[in-house]
Amino acid sequence: MRIVLLGAPGSGKGTQAALLQERLKLPHISTGALLRAAVKKKTPLGLQAKELLAHGELMPDEVMLTLIEERLGKPDVKRGFLLDGYPRNLAQAEALDELLERIGLPVDEAVQIDIDPERILNRIVKRAKEQGRSDDSEEVFRHRMEVYEEQTAPVVDYYAERGLLTRILGQGSVDDVHRLLLSVLDVDAEK
């Protein structure tokens, strides 16, 4: 199963991907986590990412594709994967499809987690306090939402046009949203 999780920043993609990873035993590939690890290690990519992330900007497409291609080259993705935080624009979606076709691992399902932006803001503020993430301020969040609406929201249409998109409402409890996600992925919630 090869799944792309979509949704606005703070919509619960990472939380749901972590739960799915545990449940399905598939690697959770989070571009945010990959970038934060590069920042922590102070790699050249990490230094570039630190500045952009602090202002809510997206990384250049070619950098992200290189990062994703490297990760998808590892043997653990052969059974499938959960992609979280990528693609973030149409060019990335098209490049990802080309890459996945080339390596014989096309996307099976794209799931959009819909949630009210004000609820997301409350989550972001809480996460910033709990995890100390500098990219989680109200100002950065509002900018990230503008970038999301402008650049990432069209990716939802991209997957819908290909018959791969399912939308779920992400406003319940984590468990409620997870049960809904399992249902749309046709995974037995009781196992």
71 is catalytic: no
Q: Among 162, 152, 151, which Cα is nearest to 100's?
A: 162
The Cα angle at residue 143 between residues 8 and 46, in degrees rounded to 5: 85
Verify whether residue 123 is a known catalytic residue.
no
Q: How many CB atoms lie within 10 A of CB 144?
A: 23
- Give the active site residue among 2, 71, 123, 144: 144
The count of C-alpha atoms lying within 13 angstroms of the C-alpha of 178, restricted to the half-sphere facing its C-beta, is: 16
User: Are 167 and 115 in contact, with CB atoms under 8 Å apart?
Assistant: no
36 is catalytic: no
Q: How far apart are the first and last CA of the chain?
A: 17
Q: CA-CA distance, 92 to 86, in Å (whole number)? A: 8
**Backbone torsions φ then ψ of 165, nearest 5 degrees:** -95, 135
126 given a catalytic annotation: no
Q: Strand pairing of 28-30 and 109-114?
A: unpaired
Catalytic residue among 2, 71, 88, 123: 88
Which one of the listed residues 23, 50, 133, 142 is annotated catalytic?
Answer: 133
Among residues 23, 36, 50, 127, the one annotated as catalytic is 127
Q: 142 an active-site residue?
A: no
2, 13, 71, 123: which is the annotated catalytic residue? 13
Question: In angstroms, rounded to a whole number, what is the distance separating the alpha carbons of residues 67 and 174?
Answer: 29
Q: Which residues are catalytic?
A: 13, 88, 127, 133, 144
